[in-house]
Structure 1
Amino acid sequence: MKKLQVWLPLLFSIVLIVGMWIGSGLRKNIPFSRGLFESARPSTIQEVMDLINLRYVDSVSTDSLSDDAVMAMLGHLDPHSIYIPANRLAEVNEDLQGNFEGIGVEYFILSDTVYASNVLADGPSDKAGIKTGDRFLKVGDSVVTGKDINGDKIRKLLRGPSGSKVNITLLRDGKQVTTTVTRGMIPLYSVDASYMLDSTTGYIHVNKFSGTTYEEFMAAMEELQKKGLKKLMLDLRDNGGGILGEAIDMADEFLDDDKLIVYTQGSHSKKTEYRCKRPGLFEKGELVVLIDENSASASEVLAGALQDWDRATIVGRRSFGKGLVQEQYELNNGSALRLTVARYYTPLGRNIQKPYGNGRAAYREELDHRFENGEMLHGDTATTHAGPQYKTKKGKIVYGGGGITPDVFVPYDTTSLSRETYQLLSTPAFSRFIFTYFIQHRDYFKQFKSPLELAKGFKPENGAYASLVDYAAKNNINLQNIPARDKEELNRRIQTWMARQIWRMEGYFEVNNYFDNEVKKGQEILIQ
């Protein structure tokens, strides 16, 4: 018994040591674990940050340094993996959410004065009696006139949580008006135009894919069907993408059975297929899809699926070429990482991501090269079809390796503008003129009950153009001797932008489409 008492502690020690040795060996096979006696060491980045924080000669913002370090790391990945700083995250997310909290008013700052340039129908400001043309004097206790006012300041004052109230003092027709606005959820529409081109042909323009896009699209389709929709022109030009699921749901409305819409796959993401899962709203009618060099990502998913299944005629120019899928990860400091996790593939297996191996600068400049090599004018060039070929069931050849190549090419309008005209259109001066002219002639524009009436009855050459020349001169822009082609272009833009001022984007597209070559080509195809 005494011998056992002597050897028992030694036996326990041996068992403990052996157990620890075995455990240490097992832990080496577990991801992210460390050896038994290895201490956790900070990363090199953290060591440098700590030394700067403790020893550097001057005070620095370590948050800024950290942001820069993350961005430098992402610079070695694909161009669409990005870091979103905490102070920009809410703004970036708003666009994807499809709404924000505020008072529902657009504004201009003219001569140190904030004007209500447009009021959202049935929005908080409309309900509180704010009208287009009102001048803001005070928001809450803050005076909002003078040289110190800018867009950021007025935005922060007007926005706030839904349900919160803000007192606003306005100047209207020389008299002060005070009202209280109850802030609400303000929509950021992604379907910004939906109307009938003729008795049977509908037109829908989708500017992005946000959390409300599919819902907006379905509402637009149902309204068009009530008006006799048999054929549809879906405009995805300048649509940079967004939420993939919204584009998939939209594709489901055009394709039947359980057809494959898209699949995604990555090194750490298994293959995932997205198929049709319900009867569609427009599976049989004739369909034209408009795309251009700014149609990207989710837009290309939708156009690619419809092209692969021979469901639509794709019209325009080769799309951007973004075939990568991002997921957004929230970080501890309130920022976010939008990381590429997979590639997407069209039903025929096309990945249409254009090359990015030469760095982000070359990637950004790729669209410029399309102008230089003549693709934007001629379309079918060797560089356009550098990717692999695929064949649809009907025998049509389609291409991968860099965007969706349209079935029918429409060249870019390269009509050059004079330096003076370009100067006017590339600054806020033109849009400010439109607003100013509308306010001065509001009674005149009341006669037009629709964008169609405006397009037929409002002739800018009968006064508006002369006013624009005078307005431009006050902004040190001389339009007296510009070419006749420039005058024609400016008159057209006065019409389209005035329609936008009165009816927002719906009006803009209704008038602009009268002159649009891609829309004309799409109509020709649908009439055949």
Structure 2
Amino acid sequence: MKKLQVWWPVLFAVTLIVGMWMGFSLRKNIPDGQGFFGTPKKASVQEVIDLLQKKYVDSVHTDSLTEEAIQSMLGHLDPHTVYIPAVYTEAANEDLNGNFEGIGIEYYVINDTVNAVNVLEKGPSAQAGVKMGDKIIKVGDSVVAGVKITNERIRKLLRGPAGSEVAVKLLRNGQPLDVKIKRGTIPKFSVDAAYMISENTGFIHLNKFSRTAYEEFMAALEDLQKKGMKKLIFDIRGNGGGILEEAVDIADEFLDQDKLILYTEGLHAKRQEYHCKRPGLFEKGALVLLIDEFSASASEVLAGALQDWDRATIIGRRSFGKGLVQEPFELSDGSQLRLTVSKYYTPSGRNIQKPFDKSKEAYQEEVYDRFHNGQAVVGDTAVHTGKVFKTIIKKRVVYGGGGITPDVFVAIDTISYSNAARPLLYYKELGKFVYQQYFKHPETYNQYKSAADFEKGFSITSAILDAWAAEAGAGIDSIKSLTNADREALNRRYKSFMSQQIWQMNGYYQFANTIDKTVLKGLETIKTLQ
């Protein structure tokens, strides 16, 4: 024991030193502004808010003040770092998640009555017996017909947690009908259309990169290959992006070996590379990718990778120009901060982010400026702010900064129409009008078995034009002033909306693609590719 007592001071000293070292090491894990023992040091913004709550002469809505302070602070950063208040987070995340919870119908409010326009096949409403054309007059205890119901109000009544039940009173052919609908998880599809556009060429349109985008894309690709697809036109026009990993997985299906798809890097984020990981389903075969000024973010990741590896021919107009990566952070009150944490770079090393040194409004308006300054008509390769790069295989010139420039430019349609046609062409309620026309004359439309048959066999009548003009407030007399070009444009527009009404988005694209200049250029180009 005496010998052990001699060593006690030494053991105590060693323990003290180790404890001090561990304490110093743990300091880096303590949030900024907080003491070692957890005593918080408030930021000036929080101190001001506390003083307002305790000392201000009148009552203050500090939540709104906090939101305004956050928005003002973020206004000095890049345009894609955004704060989403708690009340909007669920809606904001629906597109990314690829689903929501509800009953599975699309509806219009017509004459103060909710009409079921489309019923999701095998969805909750379909299983309960709801049919297209049914009128909803009561949801639970709430009457929804003849009470000036709003879209927001009916949405809140119909949506709810999956598994919950809602009682709905319908009106079908003038007869009341009571149904109980068990809510479920309703998909928000990323793939709008997938069909054989020619004997050996498939067409796929992807509207966003949600969490289900890759899964949907693979199902569409496999189905088309079973139908004999050897070549593919992949349309991502209007696709504003979404989840980066979904774009990477889709790119992997086109690129072989372990090719680099992109890499990301930021001040606080180390370089992270994304490579191909598996054999792709379409590594061989002619590929055309369609883009436009509204193809952004993840769309540009995909386009940049395929262009840099000379894997696809890019057709259309210059993409949006977003080369930044956001990471979502959930805040304690349920709100969300989507913070830009890094930049992404294509395989050749280019970042395609366009300048944002002016206001956020100017940044967003830059896209629309292209329609006014001629870039959308004559091409816009001269406006790039970044340096020149080379593609990896064929050493073709590509650009950094300002988006992805297509290999084949297609100008926007600049055909002008008469003053008589414009109120009809740009009538915001055209979808409702088409829906009503369908149910007034179902025999006229149900004789066509496909959108292709409808495109060939149907032409708009004078009676429809008269009704359309009356609905749009243009007046029947204006029909007499329509030119032949006007009438053809109205015929195409009506038929495209009716194709969507009957055959959903797949039908819409099957019709619209027959007159779409970019798609037609894609078909022309892909014939020359092996």
TM over 0.5: yes
SS at match of 2:217: helix
Mean Cα deviation higher: 35-44 or 297-306: 35-44
Shift of 1:443: 2.3
* Cα gap change, 1:380 to 1:42, in 2 (>3 Å): closer
Q: Does 1:470 align with 2:470?
A: yes
Summarize the alignment of residues 121-160 of structure 1 with structure 2, pairs less than 5 Å apart: 121-160=121-160
* Cα gap change, 1:187 to 1:288, in 2 (>3 Å): same
Report the Cα distance in structure 2 between the residues aligned to 1:386 and 1:65, rounded to whole angstroms: 38
Shift of 1:33: 6.0
Report the Cα distance in structure 1 between the residues aligned to 2:41 and 2:421, rounded to whole angstroms: 61
Deviations 1:196-253 (A, max 9, x none): 0111000000000000000000000111001100000000000000000000000000
Report the Cα distance in structure 2 between the residues aligned to 1:80 and 1:474, rounded to whole angstroms: 41
Shift of 1:29: 7.5
Report the Cα distance in structure 1 between the residues aligned to 2:513 and 2:78, rounded to whole angstroms: 36
* Cα gap change, 1:34 to 1:338, in 2 (>3 Å): closer
Opposite residue 434 of structure 1, the aligned amino acid is V
Report the Cα distance in structure 1 between the residues aligned to 2:35 and 2:338, rounded to whole angstroms: 33
TM-score normalised per structure 2: 0.91
Q: Does 1:442 align with 2:427?
A: no
Residue 388 of structure 2 is matched in structure 1 by 389
Residue 165 of structure 2 is matched in structure 1 by 165
Shift of 1:428: 3.1
Residue 297 of structure 1 is matched in structure 2 by 297
Report the Cα distance in structure 2 between the residues aligned to 1:347 and 1:36, rounded to whole angstroms: 45
Shift of 1:374: 1.4
Residue 66 of structure 1 is matched in structure 2 by 66
Residue 45 of structure 2 is matched in structure 1 by 45
C-alpha RMSD over aligned residues? 2.5
Opposite residue 388 of structure 1, the aligned amino acid is K
Deviations 1:155-180 (A, max 9, x none): 01111111111111011111111111
Residue 405 of structure 1 is matched in structure 2 by 405
Summarize the alignment of residues 22-41 of structure 1 with structure 2, pairs less than 5 Å apart: 30=28, 32=32, 40-41=40-41
Summarize the alignment of residues 142-221 of structure 1 with structure 2, pairs less than 5 Å apart: 142-221=142-221
Deviations 1:430-456 (A, max 9, x none): 111111111111122111111111111
Shift of 1:52: 2.2
Residue 362 of structure 1 is matched in structure 2 by 362
What 5-or-longer segments of structure 2 have no aligned partner?
Answer: 1-12
Report the Cα distance in structure 2 between the residues aligned to 1:36 and 1:303, rounded to whole angstroms: 49
Report the Cα distance in structure 2 between the residues aligned to 1:150 and 1:476, rounded to whole angstroms: 30
Deviations 1:63-106 (A, max 9, x none): 11111111111101100000011011001111101011111000
* Cα gap change, 1:420 to 1:81, in 2 (>3 Å): farther
Deviations 1:409-430 (A, max 9, x none): 0001122345564444545321
Residue 6 of structure 2 is matched in structure 1 by none
Residue 236 of structure 1 contacts residue 295 of structure 1 at CA under 8 Å; is this kept in 2?
A: yes
SS at match of 2:492: helix
Report the Cα distance in structure 1 between the residues aligned to 2:523 and 2:428, rounded to whole angstroms: 33
SS at match of 1:289: strand
Report the Cα distance in structure 2 between the residues aligned to 1:257 and 1:82, rounded to whole angstroms: 37
Mean Cα deviation higher: 267-276 or 47-56: 47-56
Shift of 1:145: 1.3
Opposite residue 304 of structure 2, the aligned amino acid is G
Shift of 1:491: 1.1
Residue 27 of structure 1 contacts residue 35 of structure 1 at CA under 8 Å; is this kept in 2?
A: no
Shift of 1:38: 12
SS at match of 2:481: coil
Residue 469 of structure 2 contacts residue 476 of structure 2 at CA under 8 Å; is this kept in 1?
A: no
Q: Does 1:498 align with 2:498?
A: yes
Deviations 1:478-509 (A, max 9, x none): 55534443332121010010000011110100
Report the Cα distance in structure 2 between the residues aligned to 1:482 and 1:44, rounded to whole angstroms: 65
Residue 104 of structure 1 is matched in structure 2 by 104
Report the Cα distance in structure 2 between the residues aligned to 1:335 and 1:101, rounded to whole angstroms: 20
Mean Cα deviation higher: 442-451 or 80-89: 442-451
Report the Cα distance in structure 2 between the residues aligned to 1:218 and 1:519, rounded to whole angstroms: 21
Report the Cα distance in structure 2 between the residues aligned to 1:189 and 1:313, rounded to whole angstroms: 26
Residue 330 of structure 1 contacts residue 337 of structure 1 at CA under 8 Å; is this kept in 2?
A: yes
* Cα gap change, 1:477 to 1:183, in 2 (>3 Å): farther
Opposite residue 172 of structure 2, the aligned amino acid is R
Mean Cα deviation higher: 96-105 or 452-461: 452-461
Residue 472 of structure 1 contacts residue 479 of structure 1 at CA under 8 Å; is this kept in 2?
A: no
Shift of 1:359: 2.2
Report the Cα distance in structure 1 between the residues aligned to 2:259 and 2:36, rounded to whole angstroms: 54
Shift of 1:55: 3.1
Mean Cα deviation higher: 125-134 or 25-34: 25-34
Mean Cα deviation higher: 231-240 or 458-467: 458-467
SS at match of 2:461: helix
Shift of 1:40: 4.2
Residue 473 of structure 1 contacts residue 479 of structure 1 at CA under 8 Å; is this kept in 2?
A: no
Report the Cα distance in structure 2 between the residues aligned to 1:176 and 1:526, rounded to whole angstroms: 54
Opposite residue 228 of structure 2, the aligned amino acid is G
Deviations 1:32-63 (A, max 9, x none): 36678997442211122122223334333211
Report the Cα distance in structure 1 between the residues aligned to 2:39 and 2:503, rounded to whole angstroms: 66
Report the Cα distance in structure 1 between the residues aligned to 2:220 and 2:36, rounded to whole angstroms: 63
Deviations 1:347-386 (A, max 9, x none): 0001000011112121012113222331111114521x44
Report the Cα distance in structure 2 between the residues aligned to 1:519 and 1:203, rounded to whole angstroms: 9
Shift of 1:407: 0.2
Opposite residue 445 of structure 2, the aligned amino acid is F
Report the Cα distance in structure 2 between the residues aligned to 1:132 and 1:39, rounded to whole angstroms: 61
What 5-or-longer segments of structure 1 have no aligned partner?
Answer: 1-14
Opposite residue 390 of structure 1, the aligned amino acid is F
Report the Cα distance in structure 2 between the residues aligned to 1:129 and 1:477, rounded to whole angstroms: 44
Shift of 1:513: 0.3
Report the Cα distance in structure 1 between the residues aligned to 2:308 and 2:442, rounded to whole angstroms: 49
Report the Cα distance in structure 2 between the residues aligned to 1:121 and 1:448, rounded to whole angstroms: 20
Report the Cα distance in structure 1 between the residues aligned to 2:35 and 2:95, rounded to whole angstroms: 46
TM-score normalised per structure 1: 0.91
Report the Cα distance in structure 1 between the residues aligned to 2:479 and 2:494, rounded to whole angstroms: 15
Shift of 1:27: 9.3
Deviations 1:105-135 (A, max 9, x none): 0000111111111111111111111111111
SS at match of 1:414: coil
Q: Does 1:252 align with 2:244?
A: no
* Cα gap change, 1:465 to 1:148, in 2 (>3 Å): closer
* Cα gap change, 1:28 to 1:222, in 2 (>3 Å): closer
Opposite residue 391 of structure 1, the aligned amino acid is K
Deviations 1:307-343 (A, max 9, x none): 0000000000000000000000000111000000000
Report the Cα distance in structure 1 between the residues aligned to 2:243 and 2:381, rounded to whole angstroms: 32
